[in-house]
Homo-oligomer: A and B are copies of this chain.
Amino acid sequence: MSVSPEPPFLHACRRLPTSHRPVWFMRQAGRYMPEYRAMRARHGFLDLCKNPDLAVEVTLQPVRALGVDAAILFSDILVPVEGMGVHVEFAPGPVISDPVRTRAQVEALRIPDPQASVPFVLETLRRLRGELAPETALIGFCGAPWTLANYLVEGGGAKEFTRMKRLLYEDPAAGEQLLQKLAATNAAYLAAQIAAGAQAVQIFDTWAGLLDPDDFARWALPYVQQMIAEVRRMTAAPIIYFARDAWGAADSLRSCGADVLSLDWRVPLDLARRTLGPDLAVQGNLDPATLFAPWPVLRERADRVLAAAGNAPGHIFNLGHGILPETPVDNVRRLVEHVHSWRP
């Protein structure tokens, strides 16, 4: 009887040695892939998220096409807030027609049971675990409270996100209750994803860079710490935190409680590893635009990332942010091969 080996991705999350450097990409399922565009031509974005047949297929497309070390659930960070009582549409960016701006609205938000609110996500993950080869990890994800709160209060994307800050300035109790409810909702959501088959989870804090380091320590960090602590109580699955554009808050990042910090391209990984110490793995951080470069340039930039990450275990190769829509698929595929064949 043989035991299936743990995927190299999970080994790297735990800072254990791996036979090759694991790699996956944020937004690896998306518009740059012809298979994905073919699906989107027939189905709306939320249909892809909510129909397990479609979500499984879209999640698997980049695994088949690229040979990455992990699949990440196809969904959106706003999907679980629907169960809180917030209606979300995509046109194509998120639109919340009734933004959450008053204390009464915050108080009315529910903390849903994910089994009832997002059964399709859990079914998608269960099926994916049956489809994936044992060496390919399955990643679940959610948004961080700070980032989600900004969308809920603005009513979608914005040129300048100021409304959530203004709520916190003017009615801190209401703003903090919103963050609290988002933390509770998403902690339960991550726990349910892990119970359904996700082997690791990533928390996306896309708008962390809106905060100065003190406000990050006040409005982002505690809610992420709380989520991580709640998930930890039920599982040892690795937790990745992606606080985009927040390297100035490195002291906070060090204490977030995650196993892995995902970093954008603005910070050199050698500095990051020195600053974060030996207890955190790192993920990242190639500039997504380099995937448009001719191969020698792309290879040179990838080698810089690999070299900066160093030879100690605990690096997962990724981009500093999501794959851009018009990225040439061949470059992505070639990059995966290169990272896999790279040896220190």
Q: Which residues of A contact B (CB under 8 A)?
A: 160, 162, 165-166, 169-170, 209-215, 245-249, 265-268, 271, 285, 287, 289-290, 292-294, 297, 301, 304, 320, 324
**A162 and B292: CB pair below 8 A?**
yes
Q: How far is the CA of A271 from the CA of B285 in the complex (A)?
A: 23
Q: Would you give 24 A-B contacts (Cβ < 8 Å), ordered by A?
A: A160-B289, A162-B289, A165-B287, A165-B289, A165-B292, A165-B293, A166-B293, A169-B297, A212-B265, A212-B266, A212-B287, A212-B301, A213-B266, A213-B268, A214-B268, A214-B301, A214-B304, A215-B287, A245-B245, A247-B247, A247-B248, A248-B266, A248-B267, A248-B271
Residue of B nearest to A214 (CB): B304
State in angstroms the CA–CA spacing of A210 and B268 once bound together.
Answer: 14
User: Taking the nearest CB of chain B, how far is it from the CB of A323, in angstroms?
Assistant: 11
Q: Are A289 and B247 CB-contacts (below 8 A) given A212-B320, A213-B266, A266-B212?
A: no
Closest to A291 in B: B162
| Chain B residue nearest to A93 in the complex (CB) | B159
Establish whether residues A289 and B166, one from each chain, have CB atoms under 8 Å apart when the complex forms. yes
Q: Is the CB of B294 within 8 A of A170?
A: yes
Contact B245 A292 (CB under 8 A): no
State the main secondary structure of chain A at its contact with B.
helix
Smallest Cβ distance from A257 to chain B, in angstroms?
22
Across-interface contacts of A170 in B (CB, < 8 A): 293-294
A151 to chain B, nearest CB (A): 16
Assembly CA distance A297 to B290 (angstroms): 42
Query: Are B209 and A266 in contact, with the CB atoms below 8 A?
Result: yes
Which of A165, A248, A271, A301: most chain B Cβ within 10 A?
A248
Q: Please give the distance in Å from A319's CB to the nearest CB on chain B.
A: 11
Among B165, B214, B266, the residue within 8 A (CB) of A246 is B266
Beyond contacts A162-B324, A170-B294, A213-B268: 8 other A-B pairs, Cβ-Cβ < 8 A, are A162-B289, A165-B292, A166-B293, A169-B290, A209-B245, A246-B266, A247-B266, A248-B271
Contact of A160 among B248, B266, B297, B324 (CB under 8 A): B324
Distance to closest chain B CB from A240 (angstroms): 20
Chain B contacts of A290 at CB under 8 A?
165, 169
CB-CB nearest in chain B for A157: B159
Chain B residue at smallest Cβ distance from A247: B248
Closest to A162 in B: B289
**Which of chain B's residues have a CB closer than 8 A to the CB of A209?**
245, 266
A162 to B328 CA separation, bound complex (whole angstroms): 13
* Residue among A211, A214, A271, A297 having the largest count of chain B Cβ atoms under 10 Å: A214
